[in-house]
Amino acid sequence: MARMASRALAPLSSIANAVLRTGDGAEVIARSLWQSQPLAILVLRRPGCVLCRDEAQRLWKLKPEFDRLGVGLVCVVHEWIPREVNAFASGFWPGPIYHDHEKAFYSALNEGKPLRGSIWGLFLPWSAVWQRIRAASRNVPDHNIVGDGFTMGGAMVVRRGGGPGSGNETVAWMHLESEIGKVADPEAVLAAAKEAAAAAAPDSSRPLSGPQ
């Protein structure tokens, strides 16, 4: 079960009307993605990052479990560099990817403003950041430093439907990458998805285990 934290769950209204873009430029209103099913969302820091690629492939390996639950699985990025997104999609995330150009999901994770990560851990080869990088590198030999790697990401789970007056007015669960590479455990995302699938009734208002 996900541990409790002082960070409040983001209001659903903070992301529901976000305009997301697909790779071919089509616009999608975010709330349409969870109108018919619960949704798990990987909020990615940077497609070429070794930590992000490892996080993505570990979560995607659980896709059959999400399918069995009837829970969708998508990824959002805050900048769209075609070569980087294409490489990420072909090697690590063959599912839907959306451009959150407004950074709505990134803002929602951090109480209204995207969290900017600290560079200092990268200067210390014995830091926790470098320990994570070395561990991820064993799984992801191909990576790069292209793009903005300091707009921090995370993960969310959203119940089906929801909105004002429904009793389902916050995201169901979320995790903020508070430090570079301090990503959500894929099993924790799956556990939250299981709860969201079970609590999909319109009158369900109880929060899940809480943010990490």
What is the set of active-site residues? Answer: 52
The CA–CA distances, whole Å, from 48 to 11, 51, 72, 155, 204 equal 30, 9, 24, 18, 39
Q: What are phi and psi of 134, to 5 degrees?
A: -65, -40
Burial class (CB in 10 A: 0-12, 13-18, 19+), 124: exposed
Nearest-CA neighbor of 16 among 96, 87, 108?
108
Full DSSP string of 163-175: BTTTTB-B-SEEE
50 neighbors 124 (Cβ within 8 angstroms):
no
12 neighbors 158 (Cβ within 8 angstroms):
yes
- Residues 81-97 as b/e (b if ≥16 CB within 10 A, e otherwise) read beebbebbbeebbeebb
Q: Tell me how long the chain is.
A: 212
Write out the two tokens for 191.
Answer: 């556990």
